């Protein structure tokens, strides 16, 4: 457990570096989290994925699997890997201010 | 060696050699999981594992109810007609519940994630298979030698 400095605020993060408090998150924070994670600009497609993840997390208490992202977010697998190289689900979860998804798929 | 244990894995080559449902899924899950962690991955199908990439067979893989101690079922019971089909449909339901796709859909997803998919040359020759027998995700039919070349610098996982 540690903290990161975002836009002049100290925010609590877990061992994976993901935000601990959902209420700390807003779109400005998301843009900054993305920059810190190596994604300089969040396009509408990035936002579609991030918002879908937050919606599912609110419903189910866990971020969606890559399969569910592929089937329901409106962004296909190939594009997901282009938008969030080296791990779409975990990187999108980080930017969405959610814990790393627990599922294996 | 103590230091190398802490080195993150950067590349895996996963061999799938069994054609039963429970023989194929672990390798697919590991390949998909590798890509989700940003690990380079490739899949090499050999022997009966090839059934998972043969168009006519890939969605009809069965759970082995005979000779499978993990089923906790007496051999004679497992051999009853319909038992394998029953166990297969039960397992497919459970697999779907945890959001794991059917084999064909899973292979498309894995391939789209950047994982390369290969078929074993020796097996293809042995079973007299043709390129048209395979699903479109198969990148090439390669020899064991080529497999080792492609696996260079990574870990090999045999399933």
For A74-104, the pLDDT digits (tens) are: 999 999 999 999 899 999 999 999 999 888 8
Closest CA to B91 of B20, B4, B13: B20
Cα dihedral B22, B28, B32, B37 sign: positive
Copy the structure tokens of residue B107.
């292979």
Distances (CA, A) of A25 to A31, A52, A83: 10, 15, 21
Q: Give the model confidence (pLDDT) of B100-136 as tens digits.
A: 999 999 999 999 999 999 999 999 999 999 999 999 9
Closest CA to B120 of B151, B150, B142: B142
By annotation, the residues of A acting in catalysis are: 104
CA atoms within 13 Å, Cβ hemisphere of B103: 27
- Residue B85 neighbours by CB distance under 10 Å: 12
Nearest chain B residue to A104, by CA = B33
Query: Which of A86, A90, A104 lies at the smallest CB-CB distance from B29?
Result: A104
Query: Which of B37, B108, B113 lies at the smallest CB-CB distance from A81?
Result: B113
Distance from CA of A8 to the nearest CA of B (A): 30
Cα dihedral A86, A87, A92, A94 sign: negative
Distance from CA of A65 to the nearest CA of B (A): 7
* Predicted ipTM beyond 0.90: no
CB spacing of B99 vs A103 below 8 angstroms:
yes
Look at residue B76 and give its three-state secondary structure: helix
């Amino acid at each position: 457990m540690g903290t990161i400095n975002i836009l002049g605020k100290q925010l609590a993060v877990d061992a994976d570096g993901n935000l601990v408090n959902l209420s700390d998150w807003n779109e400005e924070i998301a843009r900054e989290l993305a920059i810190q994670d190596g994604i300089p600009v969040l396009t509408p497609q990035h936002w579609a994925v991030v918002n879908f993840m937050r919606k599912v997390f609110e419903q189910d208490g866990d971020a969606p699997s890559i399969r569910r992202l592929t089937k329901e977010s409106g962004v296909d697998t190939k594009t997901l890997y282009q938008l969030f190289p080296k791990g779409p689900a975990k990187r999108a979860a980080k930017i969405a201010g959610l814990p790393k998804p627990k599922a294996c798929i | 060696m103590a230091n190398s244990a802490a080195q993150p894995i950067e590349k895996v080559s996963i061999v799938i050699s069994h054609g039963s449902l429970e023989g194929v899924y672990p390798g697919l899950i590991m390949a998909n999981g590798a890509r989700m962690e940003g690990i380079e991955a490739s899949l090499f199908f050999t022997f009966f594992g090839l059934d998972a990439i043969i168009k006519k067979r890939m969605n009809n893989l069965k759970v082995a109810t005979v000779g499978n101690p993990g089923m906790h079922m007496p051999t004679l019971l497992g051999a009853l007609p319909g038992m394998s089909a029953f166990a297969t449909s039960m397992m497919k339901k459970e697999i779907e519940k945890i959001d794991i796709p059917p084999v064909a859909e899973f292979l498309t997803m894995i391939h789209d994630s950047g994982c390369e998919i290969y078929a074993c040359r020796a097996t293809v020759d042995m079973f007299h298979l043709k390129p048209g027998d395979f699903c479109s995700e198969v990148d090439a039919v390669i020899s064991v030698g080529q497999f080792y070349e492609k696996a260079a610098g990574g870990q090999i996982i045999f399933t």
